[in-house]
Homo-oligomer: A and B are copies of this chain.
Amino acid sequence: MDQNQAMVKMVFDRWNALIKNFSTSLDALTDEQLQHEIAPGRNRGIYLLGHLIAVHDDLTRLLDFGDKLYPELVKPFLESPDKIIAEIPSAKELRAAWSTMNETLNQNFDKMQTNDWFQKHTAVSDEDFAKEPHRNKLNIMLTRGSHLAYHHGQFILIK
């Protein structure tokens, strides 16, 4: 294992653990509990779930994996705070989307070679990337990983 392979493994060990931990917390909640707020007056569990699916779906764009699976989640879960959009997908639908999202991402991750992770993501220009080579695809996984950890810390508060 060379240092680049080790680096990709480090980032993905973390990512996979965070996804697994969130999934375990999700499986432990009923659909009714997902309607509860993480704390009084704060986001509901179902909103955090939809938000994470929408953010991870955006990885398909940033990592050049093709079209989004759930563009309809952008408005309610990225562009709007919780409780603004009255009609959102059901807990059952979002659970299925979380699962499909992870499977689809994993299929795409499996096709990547080590060196692909050190290439630029789609939201940085060639010019900027030449000066800032850390703005690569692996960095996207790093930032989305800490975003997931942040919301998982909140998600486990649901009773």
Chain A residues with CB under 8 Å of chain B are: 1, 3-4, 6-7, 9-11, 13-14, 18, 38-40, 42, 118, 133-134, 136, 138-139, 142-143, 145-147, 149-154, 157
Contact = CB atoms under 8 A, between A and B. Distances in A.
Contact of A143 (B14, B151, B152): B14
A41 to B, nearest CB: 8
A156 to B, nearest CB: 9
Contact of A146 (B4, B14, B134): B14
B149 A10 contact: no
A147 B153 CA distance: 9
A153 B149 contact: yes
Given A10-B139, A149-B149, A39 B3 contact: no
Given A143-B14, A149-B147, A150-B149, A9 B134 contact: yes
B154 A1 contact: no
A145 to B, nearest CB: 6
Contact of A118 (B6, B118, B154): B6
Q: What 7 A-B pairs come out closest when comparing CB atoms?
A: A153-B153, A150-B153, A39-B39, A149-B149, A146-B149, A6-B134, A149-B150
Contacts of A118: 3, 6
Contacts of A147: 149
